[in-house]
Every structure is written in C-alpha cells, then in structure tokens.
A and B are shown apart, each in its own frame.
Chain A
Amino acid sequence: MNLLLSVLEQGLIYAILALGVYITFKILDFPDMTVDSSFPLGAAVTALMIQSGLSPLLTLPAAIAAGALAGAVTGFIHVRLHVGDLLSGIIVMTGLYSVNLHIAGRANVQLFSFDTMFKNGFVSSLPAPLQLYAPVLILALLTLLVKLLMDAYLSTRSGFLLRATGDNPTLVASLAKDSGKVKILGLSIANALVSLAGCVMCQYQRYFDISMGTGTLVLAVASVIVGTQLLRGLRFLGPTLAVILGSILYKGCVALALSLGLSPFDLKLVTAALLLIIIVAGGHRRKVKRRA
C-alpha cells in the first residue's frame, strides 16, 4: 500500500516534468538537454527560499520563472546564435550546474526542519487518515491544474503556432510568424514546467541535491513515450493525460523492478536499456531525413 502511494506520488511529480518534456520532445521535436539542469534549478530556488523562511507556496511561481528563463536562454542560443539543438541544451545544462550551486549555496541542502507544501500547519490540522493521503491529493490537484492549463494553452492561437512549428516551420513563416520566437517560447514553457517539477520534488523529499537532475531527460522521455506510444490505443485520453499516466506507469515499473531485487546501482543502466527497448519496439526511431 505504501509502495503504491509513493509510486503514485512520485509518478505525479514526474508527470509535471514529462508534460514539459512533451512540449519540447514531442511537439517541437527538440532534444532539450537543458532539463537535466532546470529540474535541479527549480529545486535549488526552492531550497533557498524555504531556508530563508519564505512561504512554500511562493516557491512555485519562483521556480516556474527560473525555469522559463533557462529555457529562453537555450532557445536564444539555438535560434539567434544558430547553435545546434542538442548542443544549445548541453551548453545551458553545463552552465546551470554552477548557477544551481550558487543558488543553493551547497551541493546538499536538507529541509527537514522547515515547512513545505506537504508538511505545514494546514496539513497537520487535518484528521489523521487524511494526512496520509494529503501529499497524493495535493500532487493530483497540482498535476491536474498543469494539465488543464496546458490543454487550454494548446488550443489557443499561440498554442496552435507551437504545434505548427514542430510540424512544419515553413507553414509558420507562411503565416507571417517567426518560428524562432515560437521555439524560444516553447522551450521557456517546457523548462518552466520542468523546474516546477524540481521545486515540488525538492519539497517532497525535503532535500536538495546538486546531482538530482542527472538522467532527467531520459526519464521524462521514457514517460512521454510510454504515455504516447503504449497508450496510443486509448485516443480518448488525449496526449496530456496519456503522458501523466505514462509517467505513473513508468514509475511503477521502476518501483516494481527495485522491489523484485534490482540493485539501485543498476537502475540507470536498466532505465537506459528500457528506454531503448520502448523506442525500438514502439517504432519511435529517428525519422531518416531525406536529402533534398
């Protein structure tokens, strides 16, 4: 029961992350390495603010803003300075590592003695049985909010342009719009969500660790692919809900593997192998670009 609850909780946190990566990876077709550092960026901002006694709720918009900025920098480097997509992300990811250290002050920050969005006066005033489920309820609410906002955004004119940019940038130019600007905007939104997930993760586990971002992209991409490929038969879900379910499903698989005796040492190796299997089996291989 406890295992199920923690799978659900972590799955929901990573769902926010996966929703962000869905924008870059699926919609914009942009392998955005920035997320490996914008995830801990959100956590670092959160650790700093909570330590300084600010309300845990304030950390959410702050993390969103910080992530958006990081995404915009990657976008700027790619679009305006004409650096390749993968490389732009790696440059910002590397630079952000130091920034994150500066923000947090140390490589590890513990927040056990501070109030968080999961442990505060309000939550402890709830009746005991409800307290157990408080984190999962809060997370479900937050993830649902993010999902609804994202659905709403993707049906706006700006959201349509974002989808068109990943699909066919020529059309965006034909519509008299700058697809470069749209890309920067998309990267901002995506990294804002990733950073938000980092912020929530930091409060959930109540510590910040500089290396908590390692493998974030792979994990998020795995969730996105599980959601969009394995659940593709369930079209009525819509892509955002599919991504959320994919994230929970993926977390479930990992938890199951660990409880069946998989050594945590091998976790990343298994993650990578699993992702490869999903990609190959799901027919999600790179489209071979035809030469003009």
Chain B
Amino acid sequence: MLELRNIVKIYQGGTVNETCLFNDFSLTIPDRQFVCVVGSNGSGKTSLLNIICGSIPIDEGQVLIGGENITHMPEHKRHRRIGRVYQNPALGTCPSMTILENMSMADNKGKPFNLRRCVNRKKTEEYRAMLAQLGLGLEDKLGVQVGSLSGGQRQAMALLMSTMTPIEFLILDEHTAALDPKTAEIIMQLTGRIVAEKQLTTIMVTHNLRYAVEYGDRVLMMHQGHAELDLSGEARRNLRVEDLLTRFNEISIECGN
C-alpha cells in the first residue's frame, strides 16, 4: 500500500512567486491497484509522481510504502521497489550503449554493481525473447546502439527495462505522450499486459482520456493540487470517455481556460 499523508508542496517558497501546489493532500493506493491520473497542465500530476519517487522534496507531510515511512529516503533507494517510465523516451535508456548492454544493466538492478561482468551471454536468448514480444524487430538488433533507435522503440525498451526485475510499483509519467498514435497503442497494450502479468501497483499519468477509461481500475482527476474526481469500483466501471471529458471541460471553464 502506498500512502501520501497531508502533503504540502510549495514552489518557490519565500519569494513573490510562491505557489502552493499541494495543501494537505492525502492519497491512499492499495496494492495491485492501477490508477490513471488525468488533469490539465499544472494540476499537480507529475509533481505527485515526483513526490512518490522522491525526485522533489516536500514541505510537509509523509510518504509511506507498506506502512514504512520513506519521506526522507533518497530517490535512488526508493527505486529499489519502483520502476518508472518517463515521457521523454531518452530518459529510460542509455543512448551510447547497445540494446544488449542496456538490457543487461536493467537485469542487474537490485544486485550489487561490482566487478563481475555485466553482460551474461547465457541470458541473450532470454532478452531476445522479451524483445521479440514487442513486435518491433529489436530482437535482431542486440548490438545496435540505443541512441539510433526511434522514440517508440526506446520507450518500449524503457518499459521492458523498468519492469524486468521484481518491483512493487510502476510509475508511468505520460509515457505515451511523445509517441505517434499507433506506437502509443502498442506501448499501452504492452503496459496493460506487463501490469497484469506482474501484478504491479501502477500509477499512470496520461492526457489521453480514452486510455484512462480503458486501462486500470481507478481514475483520479487532479485539479489545482487536489483530486477533483476519484472513481473506483462500480462508479469507475460505468465511466465513459464522454463523462470524463465533460467533467474535464467543466473544470477548465471554471478556471477560464
């Protein structure tokens, strides 16, 4: 279970531009729930993910995983249990290293990065099989530098790499936003499959309302640092894209957008 308790986050505190994004924000996500987070720009979606991952500090409140307080745990230590895929496909892979090298590195997450060889040749076939299920032809390019791949190919690899080793949480930060519609569809299907297979607790930020309705079992609509809409169970199952869009527009009009 993931808990955010009474989070306060102020940007540019102490200056005239001080903006309070979260004021006493709380959220509880039970294990194996797949939460889709939607909302307009600046509503706090990405900040929410950054607070969970420890990428930005908070001013007040607590972050807990399974009851353990991780508020002061540095980002990299939190990632032992968290896999994260970013909007920018370049952030999930190493461009100057080959596909095989990237896969090997991801496979070693959780192990000590000592003086043992990183690439285990015996595992090559295993990686090849994993890449083959993407259907992007990457299985025949193990020796190719990732920097020469397309955004969609890189994002597929990033998703694969972040979920390769046992993790509890998957954080998806608009991970299909930079992709063309067809590739985005492929990545989303892959996401759904991986989450179901590995039974991950997932938080996905998306601007695509259809994905928010098609995937996951809870929808959160963020607005000015609070959850304007929080649907799960029966209400979530009956949700249609139109409902979500209507609500979205209402909020936007209130704000004068």
Query: CB distance B91 to A161 under 8 Å?
Result: no
- Give the residues from 175 to 211 in chain A that come closer than 8 angstroms, CB to CB, to chain B: 175-179
Query: CB distance B115 to A160 under 8 Å?
Result: no
Query: CB distance B162 to A167 under 8 Å?
Result: no
- Give the nearest-CB partner of B167 in chain A: A176
Most central of A155, A156, A175 by chain B CB within 10 Å: A175
Query: CB distance A174 to B93 under 8 Å?
Result: no
Q: How far is the CA of A176 from the CA of B80 in the complex (A)?
A: 5
Known: A164-B94, A164-B97, A167-B97. A177 touches B113 (CB 8 A): yes
Q: Is B184 an interface residue (CB 8 A)?
A: no
Q: How far is the CA of A176 from the CA of B169 in the complex (A)?
A: 13
Q: Is B119 an interface residue (CB 8 A)?
A: yes
Q: Is B44 an interface residue (CB 8 A)?
A: no
Q: How far is the CA of A168 from the CA of B93 in the complex (A)?
A: 7
Interface size class of B (residues with CB under 8 A): 20 to 34
Query: CB distance B91 to A178 under 8 Å?
Result: no
Q: Is B182 an interface residue (CB 8 A)?
A: no
- Give the residues from 100 to 126 in chain B that come closer than 8 angstroms, CB to CB, to chain A: 101, 104-106, 108-119
Known: A160-B101, A163-B94. A174 touches B79 (CB 8 A): yes
Chain B residues with Cβ under 8 A from A177's Cβ? 76, 113
Main SS of the interface on chain B? loop
Q: How far is the CB of B197 from chain A (nearest CB, A)?
A: 20
- Give the residues from 151 to 174 in chain A that come closer than 8 angstroms, CB to CB, to chain B: 153, 155-161, 163-164, 167-168, 170-174
Query: CB distance B91 to A175 under 8 Å?
Result: no
Query: CB distance B74 to A178 under 8 Å?
Result: yes
Chain A residues with Cβ under 8 A from B79's Cβ? 173-176
Query: CB distance B111 to A157 under 8 Å?
Result: yes
Q: Which of B26-34, B82-90, B199-207, B217-225 contacts the other chain? A: B82-90
Q: How far is the CA of A176 from the CA of B53 in the complex (A)?
A: 11
Query: Which listed residue (A155, A157, A179) contacts B114, Cβ 8 A?
Result: A157
Query: CB distance B118 to A156 under 8 Å?
Result: yes
Chain B residues with Cβ under 8 A from A161's Cβ? 105, 113
Q: How far is the CA of A156 from the CA of B86 in the complex (A)?
A: 27
Chain A residues with Cβ under 8 A from B96's Cβ? 163, 167
Known: A167-B96, A173-B76, A175-B79. A155 touches B105 (CB 8 A): no
Known: A170-B86, A173-B79, A174-B83. A159 touches B118 (CB 8 A): yes
Query: CB distance B94 to A171 under 8 Å?
Result: yes
Known: A174-B162, A176-B110. A156 touches B94 (CB 8 A): no
Query: Which listed residue (B75, B92, B112, B119) contacts A171, Cβ 8 A?
Result: B92
Q: Is B61 an interface residue (CB 8 A)?
A: no
Q: Beyond the given A174-B92, A179-B76, please list 7 additional residue pairs across the A-B interface where CB-CB is below 8 A.
A: A155-B118, A157-B112, A160-B97, A164-B94, A171-B92, A173-B75, A174-B84
CB pairs A–B below 8 angstroms (17 shown): A157-B115, A158-B114, A159-B118, A160-B101, A160-B104, A167-B96, A168-B93, A170-B92, A171-B92, A174-B79, A174-B84, A174-B162, A175-B106, A175-B108, A175-B109, A176-B80, A176-B110
